Amino acid sequence: MSGMHVGIIMDGNGRWAKARGKPRWRGHVAGVDSVRDVVRSAPNLAVTTLTLYAFSSDNWKRPPTEVGRLFWLLREYCRSERAELLENGVRVSAIGRRDRIPRSALGTLEELEDATRHGTALHLRLAIDYSSRWMISQAAAQLARNVQRGALDPDEICPARMEQFINQGAPDLDLLIRTAGEQRLSDFMLWEAAYAELYYTKLLWPEFRGRDLASALAEFGRRKRSFGGLLKIEPQVKVG
């Protein structure tokens, strides 16, 4: 699957709800509409891999009622969107830890993963109970186990081998978007963002739509990417 890989830190649900005098969980519910619209729009914008930061490992620190609502929303999303995702050729997969996800939510998520596994129009990756530092540490641990059992020479450990475990088959990240005005990565795709373009918007996540994804991609298209090298400068031709 060729095309662009976009990652999004979906921030601002709580602030959106607070500004309207609603409980925080209402912001998360509203944010699902943004997910739906962005997923619908992505393939038409040449995005073939979309990674959404749905629940960070740090989010366990939130009140249990809010955490419960978030996993309820995950379960409901997997159920309500299944038919449309299948019809539109969207493949869904989750990255992050699975051992702490509530059983009912995990079961519904894995059913959706299995049902959509042949989708080719868009690969939708949901980062759930996700920590980039944890993913990097797991990659290092796997390489250490390979060395321990004699399947790998320590001198063969390199970024490319680490990447095999961290990327999990996804292409390089091209663009990372964060909503709600914050300008930090918050432990999201730290390795993958090494050469990604970063795009920040003050829009709160429930306000973000496919048109805003298009604006971010238009800005991305105007940027010059050298990946540490020198940009190719076209020679100027003198006239006359």
**Given 37, 59, 88, 146, which residue is catalytic?**
59
Burial class (CB in 10 A: 0-12, 13-18, 19+), 88: middle
Distance (Å, whole) CA 59 – CA 129 = 8
* Half-sphere exposure in the Cβ direction for 120 (13 Å, CA): 3
- For the question of residue 59 being annotated catalytic, the response is yes
Positive or negative, the CA dihedral 165, 167, 172, 177 is negative
Q: One of 11, 129, 174, 212 is an active-site residue; which one?
A: 11
CA distance 166 to 96: 10
Measured in whole angstroms, the distance separating CA 76 from the mean position of its chain's CA atoms is 19
Q: What's the 3-state SS for 90-113?
A: EEEEEECCCCCCCHHHHHHHHHHH
**Short-list 128, 127, 157, CA closest to 142:** 157
Query: Quick check: is 11 catalytic?
Result: yes
CA distance 165 to 188: 16
* Cα–Cα distance, 13 to 22 (Å, whole number): 11
Radius of gyration of the chain from its Cα atoms, rounded to whole angstroms: 20
Phi, psi of 63 (to 5 degrees): -55, 140
Provide the annotated active-site residues: 11, 59
